Structure 1
Amino acid sequence: MNEDDLLDREDTGFDRVLAFTVPARHARGRVVRLGPVLETVLSAHDYPKVVKHVLAEALVLTALMGSLLKDEGAQLTFQAQSEGGAVDLLVCDYRGGEIRGYLRHDPDKVGALEDDCSLETIFGTGYLAITFDLAVSNERYQGVVPLEGASLAHACESYFAQSEQVPTLIRIAVRSNGPRCTAAGLLVQHLPDGEEGKERLHAKEDHPDWEHVAILSASVQAAELVDPVLNLEELLWRLFHEEEEVRVERLALLERGCRCSVEHYRAILSSFPEDQRAEMRDEDGTIPVDCAFCSKILRIPA
């Protein structure tokens, strides 16, 4: 069986988030493996290898954290901004099973990078902002942490520790095979007082249940995360088969969800004064808009 066949197999877990809980240990988690959707997002721009790796990791993190949202219409935005590095802007978001992402980089600085780079080397000095927009209550929550550590996953662990006081373990793997790119991740959290309410903020890193779950979760190998032959349920069984109960739920398949449309940009441009819109118009009377997420150029009659 070749890799093309594997990419078409739903049971491989490609482009699906698997939610799980370990009730006796007061733990919940998500595991995701991105394949065709990841390749679609990456194909929008001619990204160098190092940049692809960073954006792939960010998209996995966005899917893992975004899938924690329960409210319909809620959105998670994952944004890194920095100075002095090869990458100065990274933006991804998740809404209702749709993900998208974009990364802006300096080609000269990227060309000087090694394959294995720290956040400081890639981004220089900067910050990571994680924003939750809740459509039902119209509330917004945002946490900001420095871009420090070995990877974006480490920065996200710091976010959960500092902004939500929730012990969190995250593991990410990215595999490139020619034009193919697969990325996967595991997120596990300890919620000893339940998922709802302020009580969960009293979770402790040294709780024996969390220590147990963290040790099991940390044993996952990068090769297991991106192995298309090993489906996500089997991966969780390997990690937690000795537990008395593990509840698993398959969430909806993920899609690339760029929201660019004539109507969307027309509404945005309508907020500009007429004299500014006149300066933007081409000779044919339309305003060209270049969508950074999908590289489409839309001509907006505005």
Structure 2
Amino acid sequence: MTTDYQTLDLALGFTIPDRHARGRFVRVGPALDTILGAHGYPPAIERLLSEAIVLAALLGSTLKHDSGQLTLQAQAEGGAVELMVADYKAGEIRGYIRHDSDRVAEMPADPSLFALFGKGYLAITFDQAVTGERYQGIVPLEGGSLGEAAEAYFSQSEQLPSLVRLASRRLPDGRHIAGGLLVQHLPEGEEGRDRIHARLDHPEWEHVRALAQTLGAEELTDADLPLETILWRLFNEDEVRTFPGIGLARGCRCDPTHIRSVITRFPPEERAQMADEQGEIHVDCEFCANRFSLALDSI
């Protein structure tokens, strides 16, 4: 591998003006290793969380302000996965999965989305801290992949024709790479023309989608293939404008100061009930798998 592995954590936005399209690439490596390394998930769960984190970065990096947050949550019944959460804020990504280890062990190496979740739904929440607005869309977890579920979200909640591609793999040396592409066609709103959300078969969108669909998982997870090169290969017939890349990093906001501030919001009698026999309150973070302990008499 000739590319510096440490440079992989990146989100790259672009537009194709003449096709009224916008898009975003994401590729993660070291940040993903840090997230997965805290849990010891089986391979199928590692792949699922990797794709969820990429999807969260694809959507979250479209937020205009760093104070905003994107949260992706999947809950299910009847599958091996009970809960999946991934979020993005100001370039920081994190996530975790609650699952039934015994059921995962009985599954094939590449289980279907239904086998993993059974009957479930995907909730995508945008929190705009600057305006105080909070928007959530919920769609069933259906289709062959998490990417297809995301496409259904945009079709139903945003009425935006969209294509989502997600991929992940584990390298022979144990490191991980995951990547994703989001491409969307935007409403033109020009007088005398149909709005795009009412025309899923618009010829400009058909052109962009047909090209984007040729992208394979191998390209998305090829550390030696720059994202800009993939972009040129796909859309070299059109003018493409890129935005400055956004660096990505594993970020968990469960530091001791934050934990203490949360605990102090509870009345003294409730804090006393939280403490163990040694007079300590323990808080486990599912994102980073760390335990924080606070002495009751220090709060």
The yes-or-no answer on 1:100 pairing with 2:100 is: no
Q: In terms of mean alpha carbon deviation, does 219-228 or 158-167 score higher? A: 219-228
Once residues 211 and 68 of structure 1 are traced to their aligned partners in structure 2, the CA distance between those partners, rounded to angstroms, is 23
1:195-214 Cα offsets, whole Å, 9 max, x none, are: xxxx9773521111000000
Q: Counterpart of 1:233?
A: 228
SS of equivalent to 2:245 = strand
Q: Where does 1:1-302 land on structure 2 (aligned, <5 Å)?
A: 2=1, 6-8=4-6, 10=7, 14-178=8-172, 179-193=174-188, 202=197, 204-243=199-238, 245-301=239-295, 302=299
Once residues 259 and 196 of structure 2 are traced to their aligned partners in structure 1, the CA distance between those partners, rounded to angstroms, is 40
SS of equivalent to 1:183 = strand
- Provide the aligned C-alpha RMSD in A: 1.6
Residue pair 2:72, 2:124 contacting (<8 A) in 1 also = yes
What letter is aligned with 1:276? E
Residue pair 2:151, 2:162 contacting (<8 A) in 1 also = yes
The alignment covers a number of residue pairs equal to: 291
Once residues 292 and 171 of structure 1 are traced to their aligned partners in structure 2, the CA distance between those partners, rounded to angstroms, is 27
Once residues 125 and 271 of structure 1 are traced to their aligned partners in structure 2, the CA distance between those partners, rounded to angstroms, is 36
Residue pair 1:17, 1:33 contacting (<8 A) in 2 also = yes
Once residues 35 and 43 of structure 2 are traced to their aligned partners in structure 1, the CA distance between those partners, rounded to angstroms, is 14
Once residues 63 and 265 of structure 1 are traced to their aligned partners in structure 2, the CA distance between those partners, rounded to angstroms, is 25
What letter is aligned with 2:43? K
Once residues 24 and 155 of structure 2 are traced to their aligned partners in structure 1, the CA distance between those partners, rounded to angstroms, is 17
Once residues 276 and 195 of structure 2 are traced to their aligned partners in structure 1, the CA distance between those partners, rounded to angstroms, is 55
1:5-54 Cα offsets, whole Å, 9 max, x none, are: 6313x3xxx11001000000000000011100011101110100000010
What letter is aligned with 2:187? P
Q: In terms of mean alpha carbon deviation, does 266-275 or 86-95 score higher? A: 266-275
Once residues 291 and 196 of structure 2 are traced to their aligned partners in structure 1, the CA distance between those partners, rounded to angstroms, is 45
What letter is aligned with 1:58? A
SS of equivalent to 2:165 = strand
SS of equivalent to 2:271 = helix
Residue pair 1:72, 1:136 contacting (<8 A) in 2 also = no
Once residues 123 and 196 of structure 2 are traced to their aligned partners in structure 1, the CA distance between those partners, rounded to angstroms, is 20
Residue pair 1:118, 1:149 contacting (<8 A) in 2 also = no
Distance 1:203 1:28, change over 3 A: farther
Once residues 163 and 198 of structure 2 are traced to their aligned partners in structure 1, the CA distance between those partners, rounded to angstroms, is 14
Distance 1:260 1:26, change over 3 A: same
Once residues 214 and 109 of structure 2 are traced to their aligned partners in structure 1, the CA distance between those partners, rounded to angstroms, is 24
Residue pair 1:21, 1:28 contacting (<8 A) in 2 also = yes
Percentage identity across aligned positions?
55
TM-score (norm 2): 0.93
Once residues 262 and 32 of structure 1 are traced to their aligned partners in structure 2, the CA distance between those partners, rounded to angstroms, is 31
1:274 Cα offset (Å): 1.9
Residue pair 1:190, 1:203 contacting (<8 A) in 2 also = no
Runs of 4+ off more than 6 Å: none
Distance 1:209 1:294, change over 3 A: same
SS of equivalent to 1:184 = strand
What letter is aligned with 1:65? L
1:119 Cα offset (Å): 1.4
**Structure 1: 5+ residue runs without aligned partners?**
none
